[in-house]
Chains A and B, each alone.
Chain A
Amino acid sequence: MTSRSPTPGAAALILAALSTLGLLVVLPLAMVFHEAFRQGLGAYLAALAEPDAWSAMRLTLLVAAISVPLNAVFGLAAAWTIAKFEFPGRSLLVTLIDLPFSISPVVSGLVWVLLFGVNGWLGPLIQELGVRVIFNVTGVVLATVLVTLPFVARELIPLMEQQGADEEIAAITLGAGPWTTFFRVTLPNVKWGLLYGVLLCNARAMGEFGAVSVVSGHIRGLTNTLPLHVEILYNEYDFVGAFAVATVLAALALVTLALKSALEWRHAGELAAVRRH
């Protein structure tokens, strides 16, 4: 593309697009930081130093540390199955893996209550066993795992389909074992795509609100994740506190976007060409 000064029509279009994005996307982001620092740096830091904020941070990290690796393994297994083999029901499987994306986060939380809540199918059973799922960290993890289920798989499936199976077939034919082939041929080929999927999966896992809100019970210091803590503080009219915690999540979003863009620019050839969000 040549860089010449745009025609008046083009300039108007660029201006319209930029003001849309500025108004719709940049302004809310700026507002988060503006509100957080409304009463100065001291109040901001004090809000972040609250023990409840710290325990919310710890829980958010814990939940992501459990759910992201699980869904990464699932994504690798699903992509290996779907991209390297042909079998009946293959496209149905792809549709099913994508489905959690079209379901309301609240429904993704609701289904766990229907299973494990006091009136749930398995509620009496787990009560006898002395296990709690709902209003407990376990429920928060389950809801997060469901919401983030497709992220790694939907990045790896098109990528592995694109790459085909020739390299793996060559490795196997030359006598490499199955795990050697996977770790020395497949994994290096998809590493950037895997990282990309993990990145998006992690952002959603740490930021999920609706699904987690249904199962958590909002017990401060115990089952409160960062996004839920934002809600509690906001509803208590502690706006500086709510926005201070929100800056942590906004920073996470910005870091995610920066890393994602870096991957897209530097390793575009090693990511899936066809990607749907």
Chain B
Amino acid sequence: MTPSLALARAPRARRSWRKASVLPGFPLALGVTLTWLSLIFLIPLSALILRPWELGPAGIWAVVTDPRVLAALRISFGSAALAALVNAGLGLLIAWVLVRHPFPGRRLVDALVDLPFALPTAVAGIALTAIYAPNGPLGQPLSALGIQVAYTPLGIILALIFVGLPFVVRTVQPVLEDLSKDVEEAALTLGATPPQTAWRVVMPAVAPALLTGVGLAFARAAGEYGSVIFIAGNMPLRSEIAPLLIVIKLEQFDYAGAAAVGLAMLVLSFTGLLILNSVQGVLASRGRA
């Protein structure tokens, strides 16, 4: 709406808090939406935010700075960040090939990219463990090389790469599809080498989408449970993830402690996403300049 129009409409006699529409059903639809959202999400979430304070600020601090909790948070978020970084590369590669290099069976491969979304996490967890266990088809040759994957932090990262892979592919793919091939061809014709073209022409265009994908993969991986617990080995201080610690605290009926760890995970997740968002903002404004 242009400013002049807004001014012209301001002195209306009957003002509404929403823009007028001839369509019916706004109160009903909004009512259903807000009621369901509150009952299923907002009220339960408020329990997560409020319950830790039963311990008092010092109590919360004691819980989240407990060495075992700190280690679990570091393992969950550190592995998630590493896995998201790996997924940035792998996802970019797969998206690029799917968009730019047609090959027979491309549609099937494209559909398979979503398998980590569709496959229940527990199934992925036991399958990855079977593959990378010391007697598994890949675990055996790897352990002969002295590399242990299952029951080590490496196994956690592997499982998180699995669950996060589709996020980067699916956010980057549409941007690459829209990116005109002419721009790259122009760069190449003007004497740029293929790596120069990829870095100076393609990367700036896909960078914001890539960051979005990395953020989604990170958020998903940081809270991941099902695919990780089978392969992690779950050794306190070494390969124990934060969600597992919540489960353990609940089994001991330590509700406030469990909620404190959950709240810490929430805060860390949003901090991570906020940082990525601001990097994206900087990139976007540089892209416009």
Interface residues of A (CB under 8 A from B): 1, 3, 6, 9-10, 13-14, 16-18, 20-21, 24-29, 31-32, 35, 70, 73-74, 77-78, 80-81, 84-88, 93, 96-97, 99-107, 110-115, 117-121, 142, 145-146, 149, 165, 168-169, 172-173, 178, 181-182, 200, 203, 206-210, 213-214, 226-228, 230-231, 234, 239, 242-243, 246, 249-250, 252-254, 256-258, 260-261, 265, 274-277
Contacts and interface: CB of A to CB of B under 8 A. Distances in A.
B29 A210 contact: no
Contacts of B32: 73-74, 77
Interface of B: 17-19, 21-26, 28-30, 32-33, 36-37, 40-45, 47-48, 51, 90, 93-94, 96-98, 100-103, 107, 109-124, 126-128, 130-131, 137-138, 161-162, 165-167, 170-171, 174, 194, 212, 216, 219-220, 222-226, 230, 242-244, 246-247, 250, 253, 255, 258-259, 262, 265-266, 269-270, 273
B223 A230 contact: no
A277 B216 contact: yes
Contact of B247 (A85, A213, A252, A277): A213
Contacts, number: 291
Contacts of A16: 93, 97
28 contacts: A3-B102, A9-B194, A10-B101, A77-B36, A81-B29, A104-B222, A104-B242, A106-B223, A106-B246, A106-B247, A110-B250, A110-B258, A114-B44, A165-B23, A169-B23, A173-B22, A206-B120, A207-B120, A207-B121, A209-B226, A213-B226, A227-B122, A234-B126, A243-B130, A249-B120, A253-B120, A276-B170, A277-B167
SS class of chain B's interface: helix, strand, loop or mixed? helix
B119 A249 contact: yes
Contact of B120 (A21, A165, A227, A275): A227
A32 B118 contact: no
Nearest to B171: A276
A13 B250 contact: no
A128 B110 CA distance: 54
Given A27-B131, A227-B226, A110 B259 contact: yes
A238 B38 CA distance: 42
Contacts of B127: 28-29, 31-32, 35, 246
A114 B51 contact: yes
Contact of B250 (A93, A102, A113, A226): A113
Contacts of B114: 257, 260
A260 B112 CA distance: 11
A227 B112 contact: no
B6 to A, nearest CB: 13
A227 B102 CA distance: 37
B97 A13 contact: yes
Nearest to B111: A261
B111 A258 contact: yes
B126 A96 contact: no
Please give me the 10 A-B residue pairs with the lowest Cβ-Cβ distance, nearest first.
A104-B223, A207-B120, A111-B44, A87-B18, A209-B226, A210-B225, A106-B243, A28-B127, A253-B118, A17-B97
A102 B219 contact: yes
Contacts of B112: 21, 25-26, 257
Residue of A28, A77, A149, A234 contacting most chain B CB atoms (<10 Å): A28
A97 B216 CA distance: 15
Contact of B21 (A10, A74, A85): A85
A36 B56 CA distance: 50
A234 B44 contact: no
Contact of A96 (B37, B118, B121, B242): B37
Residue of A32, A104, A239 contacting most chain B CB atoms (<10 Å): A104
A79 to B, nearest CB: 9
B266 A74 contact: no
Contacts of A81: 26, 29-30, 33
B255 A114 contact: yes
Nearest to A87: B18
Given A110-B48, A172-B24, A25 B162 contact: yes
Nearest to B106: A14
A18 B93 CA distance: 10
B107 A25 contact: no
A30 B24 CA distance: 52
Given A93-B33, A178-B25, A243-B126, A86 B121 contact: no
Nearest to B181: A1
B18 A24 contact: no
A200 B212 CA distance: 21
